[in-house]
Structure 1
């Protein structure tokens, strides 16, 4: 049977209960304000008039900032959310690797939870019996099949959920990020199984910030922003469209607060060269892009954000699967007359974000960077 996904004018709105801001000076006033000023209900649009068509043989990369609607769309395709309006038509057997603990019961045994989760996935009971031994073997839980789920570690639960979710080959795979947790031995087996399942499927929809992975797996790209599909087409064109959007501050509705993305990175080099101290490292947002604003803070105060150089870091690009290698930075501090790092107040911190007021951090300072500086000062 030919697999396909057809989405027409899909809109999803959900209710939120919001408490008005209030200031109180005593417990009595707090209780009275809670009595006479209860939370009110508002509606938030998570998906806004989404339309798309995915055909047999297509592997679609879903790109977007955090909160753009990627995971929500995948859940709507898997019937977790029912549309407020519009239609979703999925033809072919579908498996979503979105929540590996769906259908689990802490009080049930491991064996019972295989049946519970498989039933939640819509797998007939007659098929589950034959799946039981392979699932327990793959997850390494044969000896604990009659133990209650609550006695397992979080890693063992993850292995069990993954083993159940990927035991059968499906026509359509909906993936929110790639498998990336677990011990090295299980991770290698899990990645091998994922490659085989993706290769054997007819349609794949994969949301990820790992651009190298998306290049390897996908042949089309979709970009989402604020619950809308703003681009759908060629993969490389999708990468460019995503970069253009992610490089700008997110648009917000009046009164809406958008959380700043967290940073990944570190200061990995601190060198004293003559009368200068060079502070280098790398930083990217959760979306895999260099933050628009950076600032360095020392014990003597802040160093202007414009005074740093942005540098290429092909090593970081390769390791994280980034689109661009311009994720490095370097500050050159005037160290003339400074006996050592202690003269800077013993502090070197890098912050970043979409603006000065929205900067988050600080980045960590790698131990070898401080060790190298101490060695240079001891010479």
Structure 2
């Protein structure tokens, strides 16, 4: 039976979000209904609201979520009602060329629920990243539900659904940071701060956090950065080189997504080092680099999709590390807010006042 729940909707471009009544259908084949317990307020939600991702309004916002499976449709075997899950936006298909080559974290045919959630007048909603979790309950593909240890608080578990996983994965999976490596992270918002934490987990010997915001640098230091660089006062490239014996870092993670910071990352890298782009650029941005420098410096230039994660592998592992006290997910939660507080949370995010606001339901 279709259920009525509260949800946060962006009706038109750059307009304040509104609380609406959302109709959630019973799960069909391969689908699940999840009662949302917590959902982080991510920059991606703000991009949806501003029309920076698509114009398929109205959007049901929210995607960085954890909750309890309430019901499943036919054919669902991976989760059952009552399971505590973190939602992900890349339910792998198992059949595409990437999956068949044993690289499901690159899956080229990820999927979401087939049925739409709607407004009461029947208007279909576009759920953010195929999730739409700023609501009491949401409908997703069952493959978007990853079962984790229920001892983890929902407010921190849900952060693995996007930004924290993207940053940790950029360091561990894409950048393959190893014991004793030197790592520089340019941009220390939520994703960059998570990359710092990931580099620490991987055993990096020197972790250099670069940002213009002193508050973000302080947060990065708390998560494991051994050095911080205020890019407004110091040249990031020269400072990273000085801190690495004049050579540059083994791995540089660019978590801003701008041409100027990408160039900094490129030149702050040691010869044969690795550059990982995890910051998301806008469609109008272009990059120009001397080809001789690309050739002469060698190494790898990589882009990280969702931290190149495999949710079924990575989410439970990271939750276990949290429960062991080895990964401080609590440090990412700046505040908890009610569902009605999302619009104000966007303002604080825009001003750089928070790493993460988390909606508690």
Decide: shared fold, TM above 0.5: no
TM-score normalised to structure 1 length: 0.22
Q: What TM-score do you get using the length of structure 2 for normalisation?
A: 0.23
Larger Rg belongs to: 1
